[in-house]
Amino acid sequence: MHVVHIASGDLWAGAEVQLHTLCKTLNKMPDISVSVILLNHGTLENKLREQNICVEVLDETELNSARIFIRLIKALKRLKPDIVHTHRNKENILGSIAAKIAGNIPSLRTVHGAPEHRPSIKKPHQYLLYLLDWLTARYLQSKIIAVSEDLKTQLTKSYPENKIEVIENGVDIEALACHIKKQAPNSLSNKKSYKIGLVGRLVPVKRVDIFIATAKYMRDHYSEFNIQYHIFGDGPLRAELEQLSISLNINDIIKFEGHRTDIHSQTPTLDALIITSDHEGLPITLLEAMTLGVPVIAHSVGGITIACKNGALCWLVTKNSAEEISQNLARCLSNPKESQALAIRASQHALHHYSADENAKSYKGYYKKLLGRRFDSPSL
């Protein structure tokens, strides 16, 4: 079975991490081969090549959409895949139409998160892309994969429910193994200082401003805790967020780490990870922190609620505010035994339920369903 994934590759964020993990895991299976077509050079391309995965780049900084589309058709005719698997809007549109033209190749898409907003008809170009994305999902692609039940519920407003399946994200446990905490710290309450972090792109939906406001609230209302706050990630809001920390007079306790290639070794050094997003699919950051045994305080949205078992594995907040997050952070730091117990249970749960192997097996099962009896063998 040969599967071609089509993705942007311009970022190294949650969706790209998940795609890399999926391709890496599928590629190790004896009866499936994976190729990837990207529209940008970058980290995803390099990491896929490190795994000896075939990668082609149709660089959108040099090619317009029409030229990419023509080359995509030619690439699919040459590669002759059994399945085309697309990710993100532009790639969904070009990939599904190209697959149809190149030989009526079955295609499916993964939706990694809910759109931040629906384009207005007052912006014709954006609305046209939205409409084409909807049409190709509705009429050209065989399946829509959502990464959480919550996301599936949102998608059923636009697509038939029987066309949508849920496959939760998987964690590359092999890559995390050497960083997993063997045991939780003996006593957080005896620590003289704490390290709290946020991992994510600096974009509006991540609400990093609330994380910064939490640092201010903690200093004003829980001054007994000596805390340093670390923001891992980069993005268009960085300058604005740095200015916010200065205006709140807390820039001495906020550190902007930027994009870190060693995030797997940085995350276990945190006493807690905070997720302040307005909405999420199923964040890889959450699953990795859980696997690594790091306590998590998160806004209860998207797939986070189920992954954390409604608060049995993480500290969940229903109101995405500095006050409520601070209250939970203070409770986390003040109750080390409870925090350690949550972190240990979360790690065990993630190791058993969010492995890359299970994720890849689920995708492979759907590939098989799309192809029917041609690949109906015991190994599948």
**DSSP per-residue string spanning 55-75:** EEE--TTTS-HHHHHHHHHHH
Question: pLDDT tens across 322-335, in order?
Answer: 999 999 999 999 98
Instruction: Say what the pLDDT of residue 373 is.
Output: 52
Name the CA radius of gyration of the chain, rounded.
22
Per the rule left: phi > 0, alpha: psi between -120 and 50, beta: everything else, 32 is beta
3-class DSSP assignment, residue 319 = coil
Cα separation of 277 and 302, whole Å? 10
N-term to C-term CA, the chain = 10
Structure-token match 């015991």, residue found: 378
Q: In what order do the strands lie in the sheet with 296-299?
A: 254-258, 227-232, 194-199, 272-275, 296-299, 315-317
Instruction: Place 288 in a pLDDT band, splitting at 50, 70 and 90.
Output: very high
The three-state secondary structure class of 374 is helix
CA–CA gap between residue 65 and residue 215 (Å, rounded): 44
Which residue type does 349 have? H
Q: Is the pLDDT of residue 181 over 70?
A: no
Helices then strands, each counted (H, E), the chain: 15, 13
pLDDT level of residue 278 (50, 70, 90 thresholds): very high
pLDDT tier, 187 (very low <50, low <70, confident <90, very high otherwise):
very low
> Exposure string (b/e) for 53-64, b if CB count within 10 Å is 16 or more?
bbbbbbebeeee
Instruction: Report pLDDT for 139.
Output: 94
CB-based contact 181:220 (threshold 8 Å) = no
How confident is the model at residue 377, as a pLDDT? 47
Secondary structure element (H or E) that encloses residue 342, with its range: helix 336-353
* pTM exceeding 0.75: yes
Structure tokens at 62: 């040099």
Domains of the chain with bracketed CATH:
2-170+355-375 (3.40.50.2000), 174-353 (3.40.50.2000)
Give the pLDDT confidence of 235-267 residue by residue, as tens digits: 999 999 999 999 999 999 999 999 988 898 999
- Whether residue 296 has pLDDT greater than 90: yes
